[in-house]
Amino acid sequence: MQLHTIWFILIAVLWVGFFVLEGFDFGVGMLHRFIGGSEIGRRVCINTIGPWWDGNEVWLIVAGASMFAAFPQWYATMFSALYLALVVLLVALFARGVSFEWGGKRDDPRWRTGWSWALTIGSLLIPLLVGVALGDLLHGLPIDSQHEFTGNFFSLLTGYGLMTGVTMVVLCLLHGATFLALKTTDEIRDRSRAAGRTIGVVAIIVNIAWCIWTLVVIGGGTVPQPTQIFGVIAVIFATVLAGTNEDGWAFVASGFAIAAAIGQIFIALYPNVMVSSTNHSYNLTVNNAAAGHYGLVVMTVVAALFFPVVLLYQGWSFHVFRRRVSAPPTSSG
C-alpha cells in the first residue's frame, strides 16, 4: 500500500476518533442544561467529561495538522474554502473550551448560566459545522484547475452538507445521552436513559435518510454500503439498549454508530480527498494533494512509534476515571 493511502486512512481514523470521543462531549454539552435539572446536576454532567474533553479535542487538532503535513493541497483548499464557516467554528471552540475551566470559577448565577449556555451552543455548532465540512468534501465544492475554491459562503451550504451536519448533531446527542447514562447515578441517569430512547428514534430516521442521500451523491445505486448497514444497526441497538440497564453496551453501540457514519464519508471519498463540483478532473486526490515521499516516511515512523503510546495513556486515563460521577453530599464551590 502506498504511503499516501496509509495517511488517508490515518486521517480518516483521526476523524473517526475525534467524533467517537469528542462526540459524547458534544452530546453532554448540548444536554447538560436539560438533563442536569439543578445547578449541581448540571455540574455533575459537566464533570463526567471533565478529565477527558481536552484530550479528546486534540484528535481534531491532530487530524487538521496531519492533513497539512501529508496533504498540503487538501488542507490549503479546504481551509481557505471553508473560511467563514471555520471562523464560526473557532468562536464555538473558544466559547466551549473556556466554559469548562471558567464556568465554575465564580459563584455568580449570571456568570455560570452564561458559560453554561456557551457550552450548550458551542457543543451544538461544532459537530454541525464539522459535519457540513465533511459532507461538502464528498458532495463537492466549486474548485478550479488550480485547486482554488471559486465559490462563496453560500456555496458551502449544500443540501447534503447540511444533512451531514444535522446527522452528526443527532448522533452526538445520542452518544452523549448513552454516555451520561453510563457515568451518572439516580435521577440524572434515569433522565439520560429516557433522553437516549427519544433521541435514538430520531437518530434512526435521520441516519437512514442520510445514508440514502449519500448513495445518491456518490451515484452508488440502490445497494447500501456495508458501513451504512452496520451504522444503521448500531443506531438501532443503541436506541433499544438506551432504556435498559445495559448502559455500557448502549454507549458502545452509539460509538459504533458515529464511527460508521464518519467512516462512510471517507470510504466513499477515496481516492478523492475533495471533490470539485466544477469539473471532476479538478478533484483533489490522494495522489495530487500529497506531500513528498520522504516527509511521509518520517511522519509514518513518528506516528507508528508514538501513536500507540498516546492510545495507551489516553486509555489509562479513561480507566482511572471509570467510576460514575454523583453529586457530593454537600455542595462546595
Partner 1 sequence: MANDLARWQFATTTIYHFFFVPVTIGLSFLVAVLQTHWYRTGNPDYKRMTRFFGTLLLINVAIGVVTGLVQEFQFGMNWSTYSRFVGGVFGAPLAMEGILAFFLESTFLGLWLFGWDRLPKRVHLACIWAVFAGTMLSAMFILVANSWMQHPVGYKINSQGQAVLTNIWALLVNPTFIWGYAHVLLASLITGCLVVLAVSAWHLRKGEYVESFHRTAKIAVIVLIPTIVIQLSVGNQLGVIEAKYQPMKIAAAEAQWTTCQPCSFSAFQIGGGANDKTPTEIIPIPHLLSVLATNTWNGKVEGLDELQAQYEQKYGPGNYVPDVFIQYWSIRVMAYLGTLVLLLALWGGWLLLRDRMRNSRLFLLLCIWAVATPFIMNTAGWLLTESGRQPWIVQGLQKTAVSNSPSVSATEIWISLIVFVLSYIVLAWADLVLMLRYSRRGMARADAEAAEPVAGAAPSLTY
In the range 306-325, which residues lie near partner 1 by CB under 8 A?
306-307, 310, 313-314, 317, 320-321, 325
| Helices vs strands, H then E, count in the chain | 11, 2
Q: Which of residues 149-188 bind partner 1 (CB under 8 A)?
A: 149-150, 153
Q: Which of residues 235-294 bind partner 1 (CB under 8 A)?
A: 291-292, 294
Verify binding: residue 299, partner 1, rule CB under 8 A.
yes
Residues near partner 1 (CB under 8 A), total: 77
Amino acid residing at 7: W
Verify binding: residue 9, partner 1, rule CB under 8 A.
no
Cβ atoms of 24 and 307 closer than 8 Å? no
Among 9, 33, 55, 113, binds partner 1 (CB under 8 A): 55
Q: Which of residues 58-87 bind partner 1 (CB under 8 A)?
A: 58, 61-62, 64-66, 68-73, 75-84, 86-87
Stretch that binds partner 1, among 129-137, 141-149, 212-220, 250-258 (CB under 8 A): 141-149
> How big is the chain, counted in residues?
333
Which is closer to partner 1, CB of 10 or CB of 211? 10
d(C-alpha 85, C-alpha 131), whole Å: 11
Verify binding: residue 298, partner 1, rule CB under 8 A.
yes
First CA to last CA across the chain, in angstroms?
A: 55
d(C-alpha 266, C-alpha 216), whole Å: 16
Q: What is the DSSP letter of 270?
A: T
- Least distance in angstroms from the C-beta of 267 to partner 1: 23
Verify binding: residue 26, partner 1, rule CB under 8 A.
no
d(C-alpha 222, C-alpha 212), whole Å: 8
C-alpha cell at 53: 474533553
d(C-alpha 214, C-alpha 63), whole Å: 23
Q: Which of residues 77-136 bind partner 1 (CB under 8 A)?
A: 77-84, 86-87, 90-91, 93-94, 97-98, 100-106
